[in-house]
Structures are given as structure tokens and as C-alpha cells.
Amino acid sequence: MAVMTEASPFPAGRDEPVPAGAPVPAGAPRPFAGFVETSGSVLYFFGDRVFKVRKPVDLGGVDLRSRSARRADCEAEVRLNRRLAPDVYLGVADVVGPGGEPCDHMVMMRRLPAARRLSTLAESGAAAVEEIHSIAEVLADFHARCETSPRIAAAGDPDRLRARWDDCVAEVRRAGGVAVGADLLDQVDRLAGRYLEGRGELLRERREAGWIRDGHGDLSAADTFCLDDGPRMLDCLESEPELRAADVLADAAALAVDLEWLGRRDLARALLDRYRDRTGENHPRSLEDFYCALAALRRCQLACRRLAAGETAAAREARVFAELAWARLRRGRVRLVLVGGQRGTGKSTLADGLAAAERWTVLRFDDVAAAWSPPPGRPEPAAGHRTPVDGVDAVHQELLRRAAAAALRRGESVVVDAPWNRHGQRLEAAEVARRVAADLVQLRCTAPPDLAATRVDPRRATPAGPAGPARLADSVSRGEPWPEARSIDTAATAADALRHARRAVV
């Protein structure tokens, strides 16, 4: 249930009806009194105060038909929202009937200036990065104080997240499937399912580290106000604790999605980066993208409800939020990128550039090969495994093991810089990618032989010993055919090669 200020309409993306009347123009005098009716409340505005009275209705998940239920809901709203806006939620008051006896209850609030809404500031271009940083810092400090428990932490379980996602998708299909489009919704659903499929280890780490907390549940730019003494964030989901219980990233992602919707991707990035710095934790970017996609799908769901109620203008909003969810999930796909080629073709330069540009992890053949030595006596292989035919295979297998164990299951995309000369090595990479639900991208660097020869470091051309990296890399003189790979010509500039490689991994 949204808190209104002055006479501005409810924010886009919410399921409350838009009240009659246009927003008050900038500089116009503030109306002294007014009211707005929503599906579950009536809000009365008098001077610098807002009074919210619940309706005696059953909203499905929340039954407010009894007076005691309405009072409990009012008290929960004040208690929970004071965590982020202590001076806005003034308390719960009785509504007194003609006989002087209490007949109902209401929430009393301080009325905030509509001109200081974050949504208004963002749309007008008046929002400053300093204000976004302040919001991120307040939010991070708030999450540090939020309650957590085994019951709350269970909300971060992959099955619970999948169920929440499925509920949203099912309602969008019923209420707004025509506006969104079945193909788009199918792609969104498939990408989300694939992400969750391979991220069990990451989500377990988030639960065990205490990042699943009883937070806000529905942060929005329209309910966030940038005041001179700091931000106020209103209107948490007091009646839906199962939605408030989530990874703390979900709150930050919801606000970031609103900023993207308003055309301010720069502010969304500033918010998420500052939030990461303030919390001091190092989540993968793919997890940000997943929670942004979930927030966008939730906004799509609410727009579809309004569409089903007859608000035809909500159709475009539903489609745009579904597209935003798709774009985030596409960006957040976990990738295993093989960058191969013969020595001197620039594969290491390309791998390093790609990893730096996308903020991905890079693993290098030479680093692993430098520490490799043949196993004494060649013990019998374990069941289902084969003995490496040479050191090159052994190093490739170790690279894949590290990629799967240290990064891919945690949601990090990995670039593996290695020769990838043998077809069998690439088959093993494809199997690893399948097991951890990652997209396999194969890049083969090429360069004219004379140029490759000039690039080879003379100090590495002569191996220091039998296990030297160069000796291992050169042990296969001619690579087996690699038709699955995208060829990247590195004969031009490194920037050109990197640009082509980035297009290939998108």
C-alpha cells in the first residue's frame, strides 16, 4: 500500500489505481486536504499529515475484515517502516465513532514533499550521484541490522527462489500474456531456470554468510525521498513477511530496476557499486543481474494486474519490464570461455583483455603448467576417468577443475587461456559447462606465422626443464580441427580483437 504525498499520482509499476487529477505543477501551492483510495486503504491528507485507514477487506494473502487484524496491520506498518523512516511513521491512532468509542485504527505519517521523490529527481535529471550514494549507504547499514534466522535464510534456497519465480511467471501468463508475448516470457523463464540450476553452491554460501534477511521487500524510486538530512525509504511489505525475507541484494536490485525504468542506468550502476563497497562483500555480478531480473518481473506482474483490471496503458509497461528482465538475465549468464590458439597468436593478451573488460575470472595455462610434474608411477585411473595422455591434457583438466570449483558454481564467468589443441580437451570443457549450467564460448586466436613468430618471448621459447610451460604448450605441434570455435584475427590492433571477442561472448 503506497504512501501518497501532495496530489501526485501513484508510481508506475504499482497495482493501486491512479487517482483523478493531475500532479501539482512545480511552484504551485500545496493543497491542504485530499484523499486517495486504494484496494486496501483510504489515505487522507491534512496539511503536513497523512492518515491511512485500512478497509475491512480480504486481499487474498491479507485478511483485514476484523478490527483486530486491521490494528495489527497498522502496528506492523509503523514498526517495520520506522527502520528506514523513523520520523515519518508517527504512530497508530484510534478512529473514534459518534459515541466516543474506538471503532477502527489508522496510521499517522508525516507528509513528505513530492518534489523530493527519487523518481521525480531521476526523471528531471536533478538526482545527484551523492544522493544515490547516500541511499546505498543507508540501505547497507539498514540490512546490517535486519533480522535473520534459519527460517528467514530458507528464503534464499534455490527451490524457494524457483517457486517465487514460477508464481510471477504464471500470473503474468494469465493476466498479461498477450501484452508481454509468449516467446519473450518463455525466454525469460528459461534463462532464470538455467541460472538457478547451477548456482546451488553460491546460494548456499549466501545463506551461510547471513545475507538472507528480513528487509524491505519492495523498495521503489517513488517511495524513496531525498531530503536535506538524508533519504527516507517508505512502504515496506508489512503484511507479506515471506516477500520481505530475501537476499539483501534483492532490495538494492529493486531500486536499481526502477532507476533503469526511468532511463537512468548510470544511477542504477552507481547505487549497486556503492552498496557493494559499503557492505564489504564480493558477490558476483551475475547475482545482481538475477535479482534485478526478479524485481523487473515483479514490476511486470503488477502491471499485468492493472492490465487485467482494465488499465490498457499498463500493457506497454508490462512489456518493457519483461524486456528489462530478459536483458538482465542475458547479461548475467555464466560463461566458460575457452581462448585458444598456438603460441604467438595473442591468446593471452586477448584473454586478459576480455576478463578485465567483463570483470570475469581468468585462468592461465602457463600458471598451472609451471607447477605441474608427471605423477610417479602412473597409478591406475579411478573408475570413469582416464589417465592423461600427456602433461598438456593434465594441465587442461586442472584448469577445468579450478574453473568449476572456484568460479562457475559461484556465478563467476571464467576465461581459460590455454592451447585447446585437442578435441578431447574441448569435449571435457563442454561437459564441465553442462554440469555447472554455464554457456560454453570457444574462441580461437589466429595470426600470420611471421607475426606470431615476432610475438613469442625468446625467454619462453626455450623451456627451462621438462615440465616448463612452453614445453607443454608446444608438445602438440599441430592443433586438431576446431570448427566450433569463433576465429579471432589478432593481426590488427588488440582493441579490434577484443571488440570482436566481446561480441562473440554476448
Mean pLDDT of 152-172: 95
Instruction: Report strand pairing: 414-417 vs 361-364.
Output: parallel
Secondary structure of residue 230 in the 3-state scheme:
strand
DSSP-derived letter for residue 58 is B
Nearest to 397 by CA among 389, 198, 376: 389
Return the pLDDT at 464.
Answer: 41
Superfamily of structural domain 335-374+387-505: P-loop containing nucleotide triphosphate hydrolases (3.40.50.300)
Secondary structure of residue 94 in the 3-state scheme:
strand
- CATH architecture classification, 115-331: Alpha-Beta Complex (3.90)
Q: Is the dihedral of CA 489, 493, 495, 499 positive or negative?
A: negative
What are the domain boundaries of the chain?
115-331, 335-374+387-505
Query: What gap in Å lies between CA 72 and CA 216, rounded to an integer?
Result: 18
**Tens-digit pLDDT profile for residues 79-135:** 999 999 999 999 999 999 888 888 999 999 999 998 999 999 999 998 889 999 999
Reported confidence tier of residue 40, pLDDT bands at 50, 70, 90: confident
| Rg over CA atoms, the chain | 28
Reported confidence tier of residue 340, pLDDT bands at 50, 70, 90: very high
Lowest mean pLDDT among 8-17, 342-351, 479-488: 8-17
Return the pLDDT at 373.
Answer: 72
Nearest to 398 by CA among 364, 422, 446: 364
Which tops the pLDDT comparison, 307 or 465? 307
C-alpha cell at 408: 562457475
